Amino acid sequence: GNVICRLNQHQLQERLKAGKVLVMFDGLDEVFEPTQREKVITDIHRFTNEYPKVRVIVTSRIIGYKPQRLKDAEFRHFLLQDLESEQVQDFIYRWHKLTFTDEADKERKQERLQRAIDTSKAIGELAGNPLLLTMMAILNRNQELPRDRPELYNQASRVLLHQWDVERKLLEDPRVDAVTIDYKDKQAMLRQIAYFMQAADKGLAGNLIRGEDLDRILIGYLKSIEVSNPRTVARLLIEQLRGRNFILCFLGGDSYGFVHRTFLEYFCAWEYVWQFKETQTLSIEELKTEVFGKHWQDESWHEVLRLIAGMIDTRFTGQIIDYLISQDGEAEKFSNLFLAAECLAEVRNLSGIATTADKLLELLKGLTKYDLNYYYELYEEAELVSKIRNQAVVAVAKTWQDNPETLLWLKQLAQFDYNEDVLSAAVTEIARGWKDEPDTLPWLKQLAQSDEPEDVRSAAVQEIAHGWKDDPDTLPWLKQLAQSDEHEDVQRAAVQEIASAWKDEPDTLPWLKNLVQFDDDQFVRSAAVREIARGWKNEHETLPLLQQLAQSDKDMLVRHAAVREIARGWKDEPDTLTLLKQLAQSDDDASVRYAAVEEIASGWKDEPDTLPLLKQLAQSDKHWYVRRAAVTEITRGWKDEPDTLTLLKQLAQSDDDELVRRTAVKEIGKDDPDALPLLKQLAQSDKHWYVRRAAVEDIAHSWKDEPWMLEFLCDRAVNDPFERKKEKEGNPRQLALKIIIDQYPNHPKTLPLLRDRAEKDSDEQLREFAKKKLAELGE
C-alpha cells in the first residue's frame, strides 16, 4: 500500500529513544466513547513520558474537546483557523495559474470567483474552508457560483458525485444487468445514509457507518427503484469504495464515512427537508420540536440545523427562530439564540420575518452585557461570561452586517462598554467586517493611540497590521508605536506584528536587535527577544545573544524570555541544561528561577539530577513562586515516585505560603491511607480559606460516593470560619453548598440548608447565591 519502508522493532526503538521520529495521533474526536477517549489520552501521555524526545502531534475537532489533560502533559495547543482573505486570494491566483492556459479566460474566471466571494457573505464565509474553496474554483470554470450555502453544497456535491462513476463499475461485472443510477439516485442514497448516521448512537459527533448498515441501506434503496439483483449491485458499490475515495470513503475495519464532514451535514439536512417538503412526512411542528427542539443544545448539530433553515421557506424559518427564542438557553450558554442568529443569516429577504429578526437582535445586544446574578469565584465562570458576551458581539456584527445601524453600535461598544473583552471583540469585528469603509483605518489608528484600555488598543494594532499590511504607512506607524507608546501591551503587540508580517524585510532583524540593546522598556525588549529567537533561530548570532541576555541582562523580563527561548529552541545544545540549572538556583529574580525550573522539568525529565534539584527547590527556595512551580512539576512528572507523597504531605502542612500548601493539597492522591485524614484536617483547620477550599473540593471529588460525604459537606457549608475581606475571595462554605446542590439535589436536607444559608449566612455573596438557587428550584 502506502508503506515507504519498514523498521524492525530494534530500529524503531532506537529512533524513538533518539527522538528521530514524528508521531501523529490523528482524530482523537473519533474515539466516541468518553471513557475510551480518556484511556487513549492516558496512553498518549504514557508514550510521551517513555519517549520524551519524540515530537508528538494530536489532532481533534474542537467540538467536545477538553484540553486540560493534554495541557497537563505539556502539549502546546494550536487552533487550525480558516484561510484568511490573503490566503484565499493567493490560492485563487495559484489555482488559476496552474489550471488555465488561455490568459484571457484565466483572468475572467479568476475575477469572477473573487467577485463572488467578495460580494456574497455566505460564499465568503465558506471560502475559508480549503475543500469548499477548491470546489468553488472547479464550479466557477463553467458557471456563476450560487449565492447561498445550501445550493453551493448541492453543486459541490454534484462534482464529487460525477466522479463516483457507479455505472462504469457495474458495466464491468457480468453478473449485473444494465443499470442506470444517475446523480439523483446517488443523492437519494446519500441522504438516507446521512440520516441513518445521525440517528446512530454517536449521532453527528461521528462520521462513521458500518459496512453491514451501509449494505442494508443501499439494498433497500436499489429495491425501491426496482434494480434487479440489488444485493450484488450494493456489494459492487461498496467494493468500489474500498479501492478509491469518492464522496464516501472506506475508513478501514469495515467502516465507511463521508470524505468530508461537510457533506454528511449537508445530506442529513437535505433528508429532513425532503421529508418536510417532498414526502410531507414531517410537519413544521415536528421539525421545530423533534429536530430543532431535541438538538439545538448540541453544537455538532448546528450546521445541519442551519442548513435546514436555509433550505425551507422563509415563513417556516421564522417560526423556527421564534421557537428557538422561546427556549430557556442560559444553562446551555444561550446556544438557542446563537443558533437562531445563524439560521437568520441563511434568510435572503428578512422583510417577511422582520419582527422576529428585531426581537432576536435586541436579545443578542442584551447578551453583550450578560453577567451571572451572583458573585462567581471560579475562572471557568468568568471565562463563560466573557465567551457569551464576545459571541453576542460577533453574532450581531455578522448577522446584521448590512444594517446601517450595526457599525455605529459596534463603535459605541468599542469606546464606551465597560468590559474589555467586549471592547476588543467590537474592534475586531469592525476591522474585518467594514475594512473597505474609508473611515475604518483612521478610526482604528485613533483608537490605537487613544486612552482606551490596553487590550482594546492592542486589538486595534493587530487588526491594522493584518488588514492594511500593504499600506505604505503601516510599518512606520507600527515602529513608532513599538518604541514610543506608553503602554507595554501596545508596544509588545506592535513588535510581534512587525516581526511576523515583515519578517522578510531586510531591516526587521537589525531593528529588533536594536530594540533589545537600546530600548528602555523591558516589556518591549523581552518581546523583541522572543521574536528574534522564533523567527531567526538559524542565524548563527541568535543563540550567543540569548545566552548573554539570560545570564547578565539587567531586566528580569528579558532574562526570563531568554531562558524560555533557549530551553525550547536549543534543547540539544550541550550547554543548555547547565545554564538552566545555574539560573534555577542563583538568579536574583523568582520569575527567572521559576521559568528555569519549568523548562528543566519539561525538557530533561530523564536526567538523574532533575528530580533531586526540584525537591531541593520545592523545600528551600526563598520564594513561594519557585517552590510552587517545583511542587507542580514533581507531581506532573514523578507522581508515582515513593518519596513524592511524603514531600506533598509535608508541604501541605508546613509550607509558609498558602499557594504552595494549596498546590500540595490538590496533588495528594486518594489511594494513600493517610490522605483523607490529612485533607479533612486541612479542610477544617488550615488558616487560609484558599487551602481549606481546595481540600473540600478534593475530598468531594475523590470520595463523592462515601456515605459520610453529605454530613461532611453540610458541616463545611455551615461551620467554615471564612470571613470576607475582599470581593474576589472564594468562600469554602459556598463551594460546599454548591457541591451539595449538584450532588444531592433531591435529598431532604438540601432545601432546608439552602433556606437557612439564604437567610443566616454572614456572607452576602453566599446569601445571594443561595437565593438564586432556591429560585431555580421553584422556591
Condensed to tens digits (0 to 9), the pLDDT of residues 242-257 reads 766 678 888 777 888 8
**What is the grid cell recorded at 344?**
437568520
257: three-class secondary structure by DSSP: strand
Are 666 and 696 spatial neighbours (Cβ–Cβ below 8 Å)? no
Is 159 within 8 Å of 320 (Cβ atoms)?
no
CA angle 429, 431, 437 (to 5 degrees): 115
Reduce the DSSP state of residue 245 to 3 states and report it.
coil
Q: Are strands 209-210 and 255-258 parallel, antiparallel or unpaired?
A: antiparallel
* Residues contacting residue 625 through CB under 8 Å, at least 6 positions apart: 590, 591, 594
Residue type, 132: L
Residue with cell 453551493: 152
pLDDT at 191: 95
> Could you tell me the strand order of the sheet in which 248-252 lies?
209-210, 255-258, 248-252
The grid coordinates listed for 667 are 496533588
Determine contact, residues 773/745, Cβ cutoff 8 Å: no
Cα 292 from Cα 280, distance rounded (Å) = 17
φ and ψ at 225, to 5 degrees?
-105, 15
Chain-centroid distance of CA 368 in Å reads 21
Q: Which residues pair with 55 in a beta bridge?
A: 22
| Cα separations in angstroms, 730 against 595, 608, 684, 740 | 28, 40, 15, 17
> What is the spatial distance between Cα 603 and Cα 605, in angstroms, rounded to a whole number?
6
Alpha-carbon distance of 565 to 536, in angstroms, equals 12
Half-sphere exposure of 671 (CA within 13 A, CB side): 4
The set of residues, in sequence order, having a beta carbon less than 8 Å from that of 87 and lying 6+ positions away, is: none
Residue type, 718: V
Q: How far, in Å, CA of 657 to CA of 690, rounded? A: 11
User: d(Cα 491, Cα 70) in Å, to the nearest integer?
Assistant: 32
Position 549 scores a pLDDT of 97
**How many C-beta atoms surround the C-beta of residue 721 within 10 A?**
11
Residue 58: phi and psi, rounded to 5, are -120, 130
Contact 22, 55 (CB under 8 A): yes
Give me the amino acid identity at 198. Q
Give the separation between CA 435 and CA 429, rounded to whole angstroms: 9
Whole-Å CA distances, 750 to 717, 730, 747, 766 = 11, 21, 6, 15
Q: CA-CA distances (angstroms) from residue 643 to 638, 640, 647?
A: 9, 8, 6
| Rounded-to-integer distance, Cα 759 and Cα 98, Å | 75
pLDDT digits (tens, 9 = 90+) for 20-34: 889 999 888 777 677
- Report the pLDDT value the prediction gives residue 1, as an integer from 0 to 100: 46
CB neighbour burial string for 351-366, b if at least 16 within 10 angstroms, e if fewer = eebeebbeebbebbbe
By three-state DSSP, how is residue 555 classified? Answer: coil
DSSP 8-state symbol, 292: I
Residue 446: count other Cβ atoms within 10 Å of its Cβ: 12
User: What is the distance between the alpha carbons of residues 261 and 713, in angstroms, rounded to a whole number?
Assistant: 46
Helix (H, G, I), strand (E, B) or coil at 22: strand
Question: Pick from 112, 192, 184, 103: which is nearest to 147 by CA?
Answer: 112
Residues pairing with 22 in the sheet: 55
Look at residues 536, 509, 512 and name the one whose alpha carbon lies nearest to residue 524: 512
Cβ-defined contacts of 616-621 (< 8 Å, 24+): 617/584, 617/585, 617/593, 618/647, 618/651, 619/647, 619/651, 621/590, 621/593
For residue 575, give Cα distances in angstroms to 17, 567, 580. Answer: 21, 10, 9
Q: How far apart are CA 739 and CA 749, in angstroms?
A: 13
Comparing C-alpha atoms, which of 681, 619, 611 is closest to residue 640?
A: 611
Cα 146 to Cα 402: distance, rounded to the nearest angstrom: 19
Rounded Cα distance, 137 and 116, in Å: 11
Q: From residue 506, give the alpha-carbon distance in Å to each of 510, 532, 744.
A: 8, 13, 66
Say if CB 528 and CB 561 are below 8 A apart: no
pLDDT in the model for residue 445: 95
DSSP-derived letter for residue 29 is G
Q: Give the 3-state secondary structure of residue 56.
A: strand
Residue 56 pairs with which residues in a beta bridge? 23
> 3-class SS at 490?
helix
- Name the percent of the chain in helix, strand, coil, to the closest 5: 70, 0, 30
High-pLDDT (> 70) share of the chain, %? 94
> What parts of the chain have a pLDDT lower than 70?
1-5, 32, 63-64, 163, 166-179, 202-205, 243-245, 373-379, 669-672
Helix 404-416 / helix 379-399 crossing angle, nearest 10 deg: 150
Which backbone phi and psi does 249 adopt, to 5 degrees?
Answer: -145, 160
CA pseudo-torsion sign 415, 420, 421, 422? negative
Provide the grid cell at 201: 448512537
Q: Under a CB-based contact definition with an 8 Å cutoff, are residues 733 and 716 in contact?
A: yes
Q: At what angle are helices 556-569 and 542-552 packed, to 10 degrees? A: 140
CA neighbours within 13 Å on the CB side: how many for 444? 29
Whats the size of the chain, residue-wise? 779
Q: For residue 720, what is the enclosing H or E element?
A: none
Residue 57, classed as helix, strand or coil, is strand
Residues in contact with 192: Cβ distance below 8 Å, sequence separation at least 6, in sequence order: 217, 220, 221, 271
Query: Distance between CA atoms of 39 and 170, rounded to whole angstroms?
Result: 44
3-state secondary structure of 24: strand
> Cβ distance 409 to 425 under 8 Å?
no
By the 8 A CB rule, do 544 and 575 touch?
no
